[in-house]
Amino acid sequence: MAAADPTYPLYPVASILAAASLLLVLTASVARQSWNLGVVFLSFWLCLETFINGVNEIVWSDNADIKHVVYCDIVTHLQLISSIVKPASTFIITRRLYLIASLRSVELPNPSARRRNLLIEWTLGLVLPVMIGGPIYYVVQSRRFTVVEGFGCLNSSVFSVLTFFLITSWSISLPLLSIVTYLPMVARVFYRQGRDTNQFLNSNGTVSRTNYLRVLAVASTDMLLTLPIGITNLVLFVLSSPHEMTFYPGWEHVHSHWNPTSESYSKLLERGTFNVARTYFTRWTSPVLAFAIFALFGLTTQARATYWRPFSSIKKRILPQRPKSKSARSMVSVDSDQYPHIVTLDAETGSHVSIVPRLASSMALSLDEKDVAEEYSALPPPPKYGFVSVMWPPKPTWTAADVPDLSGKVVLVTGGNAGIGRAVSKILVERGARVYIAARDRARGIAAVEAIRTETGKGEESARFLQLDLADLASIRRAAEDFLAQERTLDILFNNAGIGRTGLGPLTAQGYDDQFGVNVLGHFFLTKLLLPALLATGHARVVNVSSNAHDMKSWKDGLAWDTLVQGETNQKARKREARYLYSQSKLGNVLFSNALARKYGEQGIVSISLHPGSIRSSFTRHFPALLTWILNRTIMYDISFGVITPLYAGTSVEAEKMNGEYLTAWARRQQAAKGARDEKLQDRLWEWCEEQIKAF
Residues with a catalytic annotation lie at 546, 582, 586
Evaluate whether 8 touches 61 at the Cβ level (below 8 Å).
yes
Evaluate whether 158 touches 140 at the Cβ level (below 8 Å).
yes
- C-alpha 147/C-alpha 267 separation (Å) is 12
Amino acid at 296: L
Q: Closest by alpha carbon to 226, among 86, 108, 46, 358? A: 86
Q: Is 207 helix (H, G, I), strand (E, B) or coil?
A: coil
- C-alpha 52/C-alpha 47 separation (Å) is 9
Evaluate whether 21 touches 298 at the Cβ level (below 8 Å).
yes
Beta strands of 216-372 (E only): which ranges?
Answer: 261-263, 331-332, 365-366
Question: Residue 68 half-sphere exposure, CB side, CA atoms within 13 Å?
Answer: 16
Whole-Å CA distances, 295 to 22, 305, 347, 570: 10, 15, 10, 57
Largest CA-CA distance found in the chain, in angstroms, rounded: 99
- C-alpha 109/C-alpha 397 separation (Å) is 29
DSSP string, 639-657: HHHHTHHHHHHHH-SGGGG
Q: Is 495 helix (H, G, I), strand (E, B) or coil?
A: strand
Count helices and strands (H / E) in the chain. Answer: 31, 13
Evaluate whether 526 touches 469 at the Cβ level (below 8 Å).
no
Q: Closest by alpha carbon to 159, among 230, 90, 74, 249? A: 249
Amino acid at 109: P
Question: Residue 178 half-sphere exposure, CB side, CA atoms within 13 Å?
Answer: 28
Evaluate whether 15 touches 50 at the Cβ level (below 8 Å).
yes
- C-alpha 147/C-alpha 63 separation (Å) is 9
Do the strands 152-154 and 365-366 form a parallel or antiparallel pair, or are they unpaired?
A: unpaired
- Write the secondary structure of 100-121 as one string of H (helix), E (strand) and C (coil): HHHHCCCCCCCHHHHHHHHHHH
List, in sequence order, the alpha helices (H) in 319-363. Answer: 357-360
Evaluate whether 430 touches 677 at the Cβ level (below 8 Å).
no
Is residue 70 within a helix (H) or strand (E), and if so which, with residue range?
A: helix 69-103
- C-alpha 100/C-alpha 98 separation (Å) is 5
Q: Which residues is 459 bridged to in the sheet?
A: none
- C-alpha 520/C-alpha 590 separation (Å) is 9
Q: Is 331 helix (H, G, I), strand (E, B) or coil?
A: strand
Q: Closest by alpha carbon to 91, among 142, 160, 39? A: 39
Cβ neighbourhood burial of 264 (10 Å; 0-12, 13-18, 19+): middle
DSSP string, 235-276: HHHHHT-SSPPBS---HHHHTSS-S-EEE-HHHHHHT-HHHH
- C-alpha 492/C-alpha 468 separation (Å) is 17
Amino acid at 168: T
Calculate helix-pair angle for 523-537, 473-486, nearest 10 degrees.
20
Q: Which residues is 365 bridged to in the sheet?
A: 332
Which positions ≥6 away from 387 have C-beta within 8 Å?
none
- C-alpha 77/C-alpha 137 separation (Å) is 9
